[in-house]
Amino acid sequence: MDEIMKAVKSVSYKKGEFIYSAGDQSDSLYIVSRGKIKIYRLSESGKEQTVRILTPGDFTGELALFRGSIHESYAEAMEETDVCLITRSELQDFLLKFPTIALRILSEFANRLEESEKQAARFATEKVEKRIAFFLEECLDNRKKSMELVLPMSKKDLASYLGTTPETISRKLAEFEDAGYIRQLPRRKIKILDLDGLLSV
């Protein structure tokens, strides 16, 4: 572990600063130690499509481990954020010495592939209210067995992630609340009152 820590470079970013941009050389792994990072792409028309939100313990730039490439997306700090950076050559050495790191990265690959497939299928087949309902369910922390969740992003970013508009997000959440499925609380908190009803919309 000491060997790894010596190779890690810690970098701090202010809200709105870019960790990397589309077109930048991809040659490092970035691990979030504090804060949040939004990963997104821009369409040819300039429309933003949120891909994922990274929180402490998450990482990005993993494709650099296998080949030199160019970033196709943007990574922007959503708040004061600290990132641990490891270059490709150093990380490749660590993967040979510490196989558990490789297993963690492969596991994350599998999770992201599954997430991307689900998102693509929902965009193609599900109504927007169904996409919102499924997203709320996925935000629940099953370990705590709690029906209360915190939205991990603003309504603007959530709209970008789900392929709709902030106004539609607000309207659908209000409809869910009127139907008795949820209760909206301060600080982006939502309490699920009727999960079965919510998922049946």
Domain range summary for the chain, segments of one domain joined by +: 2-120, 126-199
CATH class of 2-120: mainly beta
7-17 tens-digit pLDDT? 688 999 999 99
Q: Are 107 and 51 in contact (CB under 8 A)?
A: no
pLDDT digits (tens, 9 = 90+) for 88-145: 888 778 777 777 877 777 787 777 777 777 776 666 668 899 999 999 998 887 666 7
Tokens of 199: 């998922």
Q: In which residue are the tokens 């599954």 written?
A: 114
Task: Write out pLDDT tens, residues 142-191.
Answer: 666 789 999 989 999 999 888 899 999 999 999 999 999 999 999 999 99
> What CATH number was assigned to the domain covering residues 126-199?
1.10.10.10
